[in-house]
Amino acid sequence: MSFNTLGLSAPLLKAIQEQGYTEPTPIQRQAIPVILQRKDILAGAQTGTGKTAGFTLPLLELLSRAKPEKQKSHHIRALILTPTRELAAQVGESVAVYGKHLPFKSAIIFGGVKINPQIAQFQKGVDIVIATPGRLLDLINQKVVDLSKVEFLILDEADRMLDMGFINDIKKILAILPKQRQNLLFSATYSEEIKQLSERLLNSPTLIEVARRNIASETVEQVVYQVDKERKKELLLHLIKEGNWKQILVFTRTKHGANRLSEQLEKEGISSAAIHGNKSQNARTKALADFKDGKVSVLVATDIAARGIDIDQLPHVVNFELPNVPEDYVHRIGRTGRAGYGGEAVSLVCVDELEFLQSIEKLIKKDIQKVALKAFKPDPTIKAEPINMGGNRGARNKPRGGNGGGQQVRAKHPRSSSRGRN
Ligand code: AMP
């Protein structure tokens, strides 16, 4: 199947061709025709499935079908909301790439950077706004952004927005949008909250579900290395050196853990950077650019900071610590093995994390291959202790066997904390 049959016009087909895409992905095949029929959609699709083009292409197409006067007026006709700055930037980049041969102007809006340059973007008129909710509200309050002519609303990674506590901001934004509009909701997971949001937002939506990344991820080889917690860093160094790995995305559960590991790797002579919410936007952008350029071999990231990181052909993803939310594992390994390229997802798992591993295997409906390297065989006398989710550093040093003192986490993560956590 080719893109030509989906109902997209020449300027978009040209941009697609320039990107080198030969055929639409499943989400694109399903979503594009439905969106072009002006229907609301509720789509279950994760990063890596091609979802961004799945909504950006038909959006641009519909915008370009409007009368010329409307197109020339450059008022905000489409609003795309994303949970993180990185995702806003990347969706913005996609809008620019796919809309290259069309006359629309877009603005990318997120917090953590100066507001004035963002305000300046609106002076010449903007057709498409890609924004995180908090900063958008600031600009609405300052009367810089007028959403009264919005025809299309897209919520990207809506589950993550709710997890990050954006629901009230979203409600405020919904309240000022025109009632007559087309709504597209993308979410990697379905929860009761997503159901409620979609009922509030969508009119008789078409449901679209594409194979979860874990099912589609045959190209990702998954391995678990069993190892004691104290020896994880040593094992990571061993794997990097033995395998001559060059570009590695490493996940930790906490910001503190990301910083510490990055510093330790640097000390061992491996160029490394950490990326998480306590870093300034500029530091995060630089770390990502250095990683993409190969100046930095290891990027250590927390889950939320890594959302939306889009690096084609990333060869190695390492779970230095398993996530306590099994879906996050799927997101993490989705960073490798993209677009048909092989990839490897390695998890370093200590005895404390065996329950997390079980939940992950249950979710992906597959046993992950387990390896215990001779030199790193876990000490069988070490008993599992609760996982400390950060914040309380001292707890890590308590003797084994007792209550580790940290917050015990079993199935769910205290996610609904504050917005902007990362
Ligand atoms: P996304 O799921 O939107 O984050 O997209 C994941 C990656 O797939 C991005 O790097 C896109 O550039 C790429 N991509 C999107 N659509 C296609 C396609 N039809 N063929 C090949 N690659 C694609």
- Check if 20 has its Cβ closer than 6 Å to any atom of ligand 1: no
Q: 226 with 158, same domain?
A: no
Contacts of 108-115 spanning 24+ positions with Cβ under 8 A: 109/135, 109/136, 109/139, 109/145, 110/84, 110/85, 110/135, 110/281, 111/85, 111/135, 111/138, 111/420, 112/85, 112/280, 112/281, 113/281, 113/282, 115/139
CB 154 within 8 A of CB 80: yes
Count of beta carbons in the 10 Å neighbourhood of residue 187:
24
**Which is the closest atom of ligand 1 to the Cα of 24?**
19
What pTM does this model have?
0.60
Structure tokens at 272: 């490394």
Tell whether 88 is covered by a domain: yes
- Check if 25 has its Cβ closer than 6 Å to any atom of ligand 1: yes
- Check if 53 has its Cβ closer than 6 Å to any atom of ligand 1: yes
Ligand 1 mean position, distance from CA 66 (Å):
27
Tell whether 399 is covered by a domain: no
Last-in-domain residue among 180, 209, 238: 209
Burial, 315: exposed, middle or buried (Cβ in 10 Å; 0-12, 13-18, 19+)?
Answer: middle
Q: 135 with 34, same domain?
A: yes
The secondary structure of 361-374, three-state, reads: HHHHCCCCEEECCH
Q: 227 with 353, same domain?
A: yes
- Check if 422 has its Cβ closer than 6 Å to any atom of ligand 1: no
Segment (H or E) for 121: helix 116-121
Tell whether 282 is covered by a domain: yes
Q: What is the CATH number of the domain that holds 258?
A: 3.40.50.300
Tell whether 180 is covered by a domain: yes
Pick the residue whose CA is nearest to atom 14 on ligand 1.
50
Question: What is the DSSP-derived secondary structure letter of residue 300?
Answer: E
Structure tokens at 373: 């390297």
CB 384 within 8 A of CB 351: yes
Count of beta carbons in the 10 Å neighbourhood of residue 23:
10
3-class secondary-structure state, position 126:
coil
- Domain of 284 in residue numbering reads as 220-376
Burial, 292: exposed, middle or buried (Cβ in 10 Å; 0-12, 13-18, 19+)?
Answer: middle
Pick the residue whose CA is nearest to atom 8 on ligand 1.
50
**Which is the closest atom of ligand 1 to the Cα of 19?**
12
Q: 246 with 101, same domain?
A: no
Ligand 1 mean position, distance from CA 179 (Å):
32
- Check if 189 has its Cβ closer than 6 Å to any atom of ligand 1: no
- Check if 312 has its Cβ closer than 6 Å to any atom of ligand 1: yes
Distances in Å between the Cα of 73 and the Cα atoms of 66, 165, 418 are 11, 35, 38
Q: Please list the pLDDT of the chain residue by residue as tens digits (422 residues).
A: 799 999 999 999 999 999 988 899 989 999 999 999 999 999 988 777 889 999 999 999 999 999 998 888 889 999 999 999 989 999 999 999 999 999 999 999 999 899 999 999 998 899 999 999 999 999 999 999 999 999 999 999 999 899 889 999 999 999 999 999 999 999 988 778 888 999 999 999 999 987 654 443 556 789 999 999 999 999 999 999 999 998 999 999 988 999 999 999 999 999 999 988 777 777 888 888 899 888 999 999 988 777 656 665 678 999 999 998 888 888 788 777 655 556 789 999 999 999 999 999 988 878 899 998 999 999 999 988 887 665 433 333 333 333 333 333 333 333 333 333 33
- Check if 26 has its Cβ closer than 6 Å to any atom of ligand 1: no
3-class secondary-structure state, position 304:
helix
